[in-house]
């Protein structure tokens, strides 16, 4: 406890200073606001401990000073001692990583050691029960996680300094690794305060590790790295630490050293507190701590502790100063620095273990309590829609600037981050950011302005639920019977605070679908449900062919939904060939001046808009490459018509004129226009924007883009030339390759259009021993001959213009 109290105090004393190498600052550049805010937040006093343990006047003064500071930082409702006491022992963490790295297996151990489940069941285990968090039949059959699952548990953490025990409440979300289900990771990380990044001790940083890392940066999520599968032959945690530094560009260092290798792996040396930790007894439940470091790892441990201090010196001022003075930091100082720099997004401590062999999991849980932020240590900002609505800003363009405080007495603000349609109606997962959500309470949906009552409130334990009466701030829960969309914000009606939306990637693949035999209402019921639950799954009717088209993140994504229609809705379907989701964009700026005018008897329609469109790159922070800007001066267009023009622009983007695919990478700048007191309307301005955009689009040298994927292949070394050859024939560019003992990895960039049938080819050329994963990288212009073919094919589908 002393440790954690001291930590918060030291961070307050130190201002944030970037002392690290280029790698550090490049990591920070991605979330500078969050970093600064978090260090400031780390200052939040842990009065709960302080009042219990410090009696001196000086200490009391310090507490008062800290409370004053906290009140300043949180102008609304300040945290009370009771809030702090609760929040200090609350953690919300995600488990995220590449496919098959052992996230669900790890979570199963966490549930077992915390007493949430009585027995351990393995993913694809022989007992055919399956892991708790993979509750869907399809997940158990395929041995993969498809949906993220939430649970909660209590962990009695051991304080490393004084050995006291303290109970922590931990909410955990186990996420899928397959990139097809990436939205599940996205929304989990959107609402979590910290994460465990799991890595395989042999394969290390893989393609989806990089994706997950990007998602963590997007939401400023601090992460502990966990090198799992230490029991595997060829396990090498030091190579993985190196990869975290070089490939993910995060300063990282091991905080443990393994005792025994491969099948002899039996524990870890805790480098921070200089002690050995072994797992013994039934399923490793007995944690044996010894102050004696085994002789065979003593030298390595000494060297790795030194490396840890050196890494910390790069990112932490206090350790940096000590190292400069040639002083050796104490255990407490090292622990403080690890926590400070992890929460400050400057460092990732690396833990190691083997989930399957039940080794090293309890120390990881202690690490979550020691080094992950509590909910008050992560800055959360909301948009005040009252302000946003009065300006010309829409919710999409407003910047969040209202800090939320996880005080139980503050006005409620919660985010619905995930929906599930269940037998008892809609289940809505909520993260409560401030205030208290109570059963039977009236809450307001900020987007729709509708008031609803909360009929039932539950805490999720995978697919089971536990009824609760109230949920405090900083917690995760689910509500039953509240209709809403994913991403909606709820308040108690006293504020109009709205949380920003999460990043939703565009679908890359689509296919036509129709029910076998006659269409029943179940067909559209299922599609509606899936679409509501999953924002990366889209359904539309192709007006030319009249087919129902479903689009998603990959073949597996769509395959799972087709299978779920059969199982859950009794609807067998026939699907067409998967097709790539092409896009259109512009390559140069084009001006527009467009008047929409119509006179049909009564009131006419009149709207004039002028401005320009220009190419736009993806904004690395928001992931957006479409923007609407309004710079109209002097009221030439009344501000109430501006949203209609924005709407028209977005409508025009839905279908490009070259190939009928959606348009992206465009900024629309509205400079001027004119209106008529009687004939102007929202409709007229919307149509004017569409007309203006279409005209300008033709002049802006439009092109067709195709999705290019990062493909990662892992196969035994002897097949290397066949695999590389196969990727080359698909016009792939090899960007990275690595040969390990008897296995190699090749990473290539290949157009998705060239990837159909690759799994069969790979199986054939590697005797079934090769595996691959694929992730969307970017859209690139198609080759001229393909552009010609696509344009021609699209022209043929259009109604013929009479001569
Ligand atoms: N050797 C070894 N195998 C492990 C370990 N942990 C998990 N596995 C195995 O790795 C496979 C994948 O485990 P999961 O827990 O399903 O992995 P995951 O990361 O949840 O997978 P997805 O959710 O589908 O991405 C299973 O066959 C596990 O038995 C470990 O520590 N050592
Ligand atoms: Mg899993």
pLDDT at 141 > cutoff 80: yes
pLDDT at 64 > cutoff 50: no
Residues at Cβ < 5 Å from ligand 2 ion? 103-104, 145
What pLDDT is attached to residue 65? 52
DSSP code, position 435: S
Q: Is the minimum distance from the CB of 147 to ligand 1 under 6 angstroms?
A: no
Q: Is the minimum distance from the CB of 123 to ligand 1 under 6 angstroms?
A: yes
Tokens of 284: 């490793």
CATH number for 764: 3.30.70.240
What pLDDT is attached to residue 397? 52
**Is there a single domain that holds both residue 637 and residue 684?**
yes
Atom of ligand 1 nearest to the CA of 228: 31
Residue 803 lies in a domain: no
Task: Single out the residue of 240, 101, 231 nearest to residue 174, CA to CA.
Answer: 101
Q: Is the minimum distance from the CB of 354 to ligand 1 under 6 angstroms?
A: yes
Contact 176, 97 (CB under 8 A): no
Which of 498, 528, 562 terminates a domain? The answer is 498
Residue 43 lies in a domain: yes
- 635 vs 10, residue with greater confidence: 635
Which residue is closest in CA terms to ligand 1's atom 8? 102
- 379 vs 191, residue with greater confidence: 191
Which of 556, 580, 604 terminates a domain? The answer is 580
Ligand 2 centroid – CA 782 distance (Å): 36
What pLDDT is attached to residue 368? 96
Q: Is the minimum distance from the CB of 101 to ligand 1 under 6 angstroms?
A: yes
Q: Is the minimum distance from the CB of 180 to ligand 1 under 6 angstroms?
A: no
Beta partners for residue 605, in sequence order: 598
**Is there a single domain that holds both residue 157 and residue 124?**
yes
**Is there a single domain that holds both residue 570 and residue 616?**
no
Task: Single out the residue of 487, 426, 494, 433 nearest to residue 458, CA to CA.
Answer: 426
Residue 504 lies in a domain: no
What pLDDT is attached to residue 192? 95
Q: Is the minimum distance from the CB of 103 to ligand 1 under 6 angstroms?
A: yes
The whole domain housing 669 covers 584-701
Cα–Cα dist 215/208, whole Å? 10
Mutate to test the pocket of ligand 1, among 105, 112, 185, 258 (most ligand atoms within 8 A of CB): 105
The pLDDT tens digits of the residues spanning 490-547 come to 999 999 999 987 888 888 889 999 999 888 899 999 999 999 999 999 998 876 678 8
Residue 798 lies in a domain: no
Cα–Cα dist 506/148, whole Å? 20
CA distances for 683 relative to 128, 396, 628, 693, angstroms:
59, 21, 18, 15
258 phi/psi in degrees, rounded to 5: -70, 145
Q: Is residue 13 very low, low, confident or very high in pLDDT (cuts 50, 70, 90)?
A: very low
Average pLDDT over residues 732-754: 89
What pLDDT is attached to residue 323? 95
Q: Is residue 711 very low, low, confident or very high in pLDDT (cuts 50, 70, 90)?
A: very high
User: Going along 542-643, which residue ranges are E strands?
Assistant: 548-552, 573-575, 579-580, 583-585, 590-598, 605-615, 626-630
Task: Single out the residue of 87, 80, 41, 28 nearest to residue 379, CA to CA.
Answer: 41
CA distances for 450 relative to 400, 482, 483, 496, angstroms:
22, 11, 10, 12
Contact 419, 485 (CB under 8 A): yes
Average pLDDT over residues 215-226: 94
Ligand 2 centroid – CA 356 distance (Å): 13
Ligand 2 centroid – CA 120 distance (Å): 15
C-alpha 53, offset from chain centre = 38
Average pLDDT over residues 575-600: 91
Average pLDDT over residues 299-328: 96
Q: Tokens 């006293």 map to which residue?
A: 494
**Is there a single domain that holds both residue 673 and residue 716?**
no
Contact 155, 114 (CB under 8 A): yes
Beta-carbon count within 10 A of 648 CB: 27
Beta-carbon count within 10 A of 497 CB: 23
What pLDDT is attached to residue 109? 95
Which residue is closest in CA terms to ligand 1's atom 24? 144
**Is there a single domain that holds both residue 148 and residue 31?**
no
Q: Is residue 790 very low, low, confident or very high in pLDDT (cuts 50, 70, 90)?
A: very high
Residue 622 lies in a domain: yes
**Is there a single domain that holds both residue 420 and residue 319?**
no
Contact 797, 660 (CB under 8 A): yes
Ligand 1 centroid – CA 102 distance (Å): 3
Q: Is the minimum distance from the CB of 122 to ligand 1 under 6 angstroms?
A: yes
Q: Is residue 573 very low, low, confident or very high in pLDDT (cuts 50, 70, 90)?
A: very high
Q: Is the minimum distance from the CB of 177 to ligand 1 under 6 angstroms?
A: yes
Tokens of 465: 């639920």
What pLDDT is attached to residue 601? 67
Q: Is residue 486 very low, low, confident or very high in pLDDT (cuts 50, 70, 90)?
A: confident
What pLDDT is attached to residue 633? 85
Which of 498, 518, 534 terminates a domain? The answer is 498
- Coarse DSSP helix, strand, coil percentages of the chain, rounded to the nearest 5 percent: 35, 30, 35
Full 3-state SS string of 69-113: HHHHHCCCCCCCHHHHHHHHCEEEEEEEECCCCCHHHHHHHHHHH
| Alpha-carbon torsion, ordered 124, 125, 129, 134, to 10 deg | -40
CATH number for 431: 2.40.30.10
Edge-to-edge strands of the sheet including 605-615?
Answer: 590-598, 605-615, 666-674, 626-630
Atom of ligand 1 nearest to the CA of 101: 19
Q: What is the largest CA-CA distance in the chain?
A: 96
What pLDDT is attached to residue 33? 30
Average pLDDT over residues 240-244: 96
Residue 715 lies in a domain: yes
Residue 794 lies in a domain: no
The pLDDT tens digits of the residues spanning 17-54 come to 223 333 333 333 333 333 333 333 333 333 322 232 33
CATH number for 547: 3.30.70.870
**Is there a single domain that holds both residue 174 and residue 295?**
yes
Q: Is the minimum distance from the CB of 145 to ligand 1 under 6 angstroms?
A: yes
Q: Is residue 481 very low, low, confident or very high in pLDDT (cuts 50, 70, 90)?
A: confident
Tell me what percent of the residues of the chain surpass a pLDDT of 90.
60
pLDDT at 378 > cutoff 80: yes
Ligand 2 centroid – CA 174 distance (Å): 7
pLDDT at 62 > cutoff 70: no
Least confident of 12-16, 96-100, 113-117, 619-623: 12-16
Beta partners for residue 745, in sequence order: 714, 738
Which residue is closest in CA terms to ligand 1's atom 32? 229
Cα–Cα dist 591/579, whole Å? 34
Q: Is residue 256 very low, low, confident or very high in pLDDT (cuts 50, 70, 90)?
A: very high
Tell me what percent of the residues of the chain surpass a pLDDT of 70.
88
What pLDDT is attached to residue 76? 66
Instruction: Of 150-164, 453-467, 581-595, 789-803, give the range with the top mean pLDDT.
Output: 581-595
**Is there a single domain that holds both residue 675 and residue 726?**
no
What pLDDT is attached to residue 73? 42
The count of domains in the chain is 6
The pLDDT tens digits of the residues spanning 70-100 come to 444 445 688 999 999 999 999 999 999 998 9
CA distances for 394 relative to 337, 484, 626, 670, 729, angstroms:
41, 20, 14, 15, 47
**Is there a single domain that holds both residue 274 and residue 353?**
yes
Q: Is the minimum distance from the CB of 176 to ligand 1 under 6 angstroms?
A: yes
Q: Is residue 57 very low, low, confident or very high in pLDDT (cuts 50, 70, 90)?
A: very low
- Residues of the binding site for GTP: 97-104, 174-178, 228-231
What average pLDDT is seen over the chain? Answer: 85
**Is there a single domain that holds both residue 304 and residue 364?**
yes
Residue 292 lies in a domain: yes
Q: How do 194-200 and 90-97 pair as beta strands?
A: parallel
Ligand 1 centroid – CA 244 distance (Å): 20
What pLDDT is attached to residue 801? 53
**Is there a single domain that holds both residue 303 and residue 344?**
yes
What pLDDT is attached to residue 53? 31
pLDDT at 277 > cutoff 90: yes
Ligand 2 centroid – CA 278 distance (Å): 26
Average pLDDT over residues 233-248: 94
What pLDDT is attached to residue 49? 28
Ligand 2 centroid – CA 561 distance (Å): 18
**103-113 vs 361-371: helix crossing angle, rounded to 10:** 90
What pLDDT is attached to residue 36? 32
pLDDT at 686 > cutoff 80: yes
**Is there a single domain that holds both residue 537 and residue 608?**
no
Which residue is closest in CA terms to ligand 1's atom 21? 100
Q: Is the minimum distance from the CB of 200 to ligand 1 under 6 angstroms?
A: no
Q: Is the minimum distance from the CB of 124 to ligand 1 under 6 angstroms?
A: yes
Mutate to test the pocket of ligand 1, among 94, 96, 104 (most ligand atoms within 8 A of CB): 104
Ligand 1 centroid – CA 104 distance (Å): 7
């Amino acid at each position: 406890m002393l440790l954690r109290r001291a930590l918060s105090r030291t961070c307050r004393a130190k201002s944030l200073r970037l002392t690290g190498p280029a790698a550090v600052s490049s990591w920070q550049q991605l979330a500078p606001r969050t970093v600064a805010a978090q260090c400031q937040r780390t200052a939040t006093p842990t009065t709960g401990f302080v009042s219990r343990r410090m009696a001196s006047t000086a200490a009391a003064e310090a507490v008062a000073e800290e409370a004053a500071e906290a009140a300043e930082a949180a102008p609304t409702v300040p945290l009370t001692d009771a809030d702090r006491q609760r929040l200090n022992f609350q953690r919300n963490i995600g488990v995220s990583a590449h496919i098959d790295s052992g996230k669900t297996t790890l979570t199963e151990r966490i549930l077992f050691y915390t007493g949430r489940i009585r027995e351990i069941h393995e993913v694809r285990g022989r007992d055919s029960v399956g892991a708790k968090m993979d509750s869907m039949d399809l997940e158990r059959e395929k041995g993969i996680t498809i949906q993220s699952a939430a649970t909660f548990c209590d962990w009695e953490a051991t304080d490393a300094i004084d050995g006291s025990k303290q109970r922590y409440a931990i909410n955990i979300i186990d996420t899928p690794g397959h990139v097809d289900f990436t939205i599940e990771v996205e929304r989990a990380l959107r609402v979590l305060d910290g994460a465990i990044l799991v890595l395989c001790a042999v394969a290390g940083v893989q393609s989806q590790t990089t994706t997950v890392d990007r998602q963590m940066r997007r939401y400023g999520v601090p992460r502990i790295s966990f090198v799992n599968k230490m029991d595997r032959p060829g396990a090498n945690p030091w190579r993985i630490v190196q990869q975290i530094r070089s490939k993910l560009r995060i300063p990282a260092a091991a905080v443990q050293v393994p005792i025994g290798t491969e099948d002899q792996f039996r524990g870890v040396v805790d480098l921070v507190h200089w002690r050995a930790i072994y797992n013994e007894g039934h399923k490793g439940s007995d944690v044996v701590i010894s102050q004696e470091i085994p002789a065979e790892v003593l030298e390595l441990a000494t060297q790795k502790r030194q490396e840890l201090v050196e890494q910390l010196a790069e990112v932490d001022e206090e350790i940096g100063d000590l190292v400069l003075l040639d002083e050796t930091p104490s255990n407490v100082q090292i622990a403080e620095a690890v926590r400070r720099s992890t929460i400050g997004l400057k460092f990732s401590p690396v833990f190691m273990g083997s989930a399957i062999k039940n080794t090293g999991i309890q120390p990881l849980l202690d690490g979550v309590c020691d080094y992950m932020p509590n909910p008050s240590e992560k800055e959360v900002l909301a948009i005040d829609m009252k302000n946003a609505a009065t300006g010309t800003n829409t919710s999409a363009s407003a910047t969040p600037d209202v800090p939320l405080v996880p005080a139980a007495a503050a006005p409620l603000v919660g985010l619905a981050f995930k929906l599930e349609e269940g037998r008892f109606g809609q289940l809505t997962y909520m993260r409560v950011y401030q205030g208290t959500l109570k059963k039977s309470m009236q809450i307001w949906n900020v987007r729709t302005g509708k008031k609803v009552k909360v009929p039932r409130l539950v805490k999720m334990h995978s697919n089971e639920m536990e009824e609760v009466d109230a949920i405090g701030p900083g917690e995760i829960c689910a509500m039953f019977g509240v209709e809403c969309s994913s991403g909606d914000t709820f308040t108690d009606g006293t504020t109009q605070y709205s949380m920003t939306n999460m990043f939703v990637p565009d679908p890359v693949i689509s296919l036509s679908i129709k029910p076998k035999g006659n269409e029943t209402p179940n067909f559209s019921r299922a599609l509606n449900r899936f679409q509501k639950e999953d924002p990366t799954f889209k359904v539309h009717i192709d007006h030319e062919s009249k087919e129902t088209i479903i689009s998603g993140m990959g073949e597996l994504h769509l395959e799972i939904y087709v299978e779920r229609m059969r199982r859950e809705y009794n609807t067998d379907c026939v699907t067409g060939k998967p097709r790539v989701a092409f896009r259109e964009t512009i390559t140069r700026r084009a001006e527009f001046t467009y008047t929409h005018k119509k006179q049909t008897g009564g009131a006419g329609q009149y709207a004039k808009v002028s401005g320009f469109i220009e190419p736009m790159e993806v904004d690395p922070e928001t992931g957006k490459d479409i923007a609407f800007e309004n710079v109209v001066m002097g009221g030439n267009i009344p501000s109430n018509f501006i949203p209609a023009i924005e709407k028209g622009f977005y409508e025009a983007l839905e279908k490009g004129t070259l190939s009928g695919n959606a348009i992206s990478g465009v900024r629309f700048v509205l400079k001027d226009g004119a209106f008529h007191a009687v004939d102007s309307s929202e409709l007229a301005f919307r149509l004017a924007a569409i007309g203006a955009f279409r005209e300008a689009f033709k002049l802006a040298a439009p092109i067709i883009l195709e999705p290019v994927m990062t493909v990662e292949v892992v196969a035994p070394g002897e097949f290397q030339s066949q695999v590389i050859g196969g990727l080359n024939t698909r016009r792939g560019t090899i960007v990275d390759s690595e040969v390990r003992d008897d296995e190699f990895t090749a990473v290539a960039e290949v157009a998705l259009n060239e990837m159909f049938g690759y799994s069969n080819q790979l199986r054939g050329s590697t005797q079934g021993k090769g595996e691959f994963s694929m992730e969307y990288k970017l859209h690139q212009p198609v080759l001229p001959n393909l552009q010609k073919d696509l344009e021609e094919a699209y022209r043929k589908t259009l109604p013929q213009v009479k001569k």
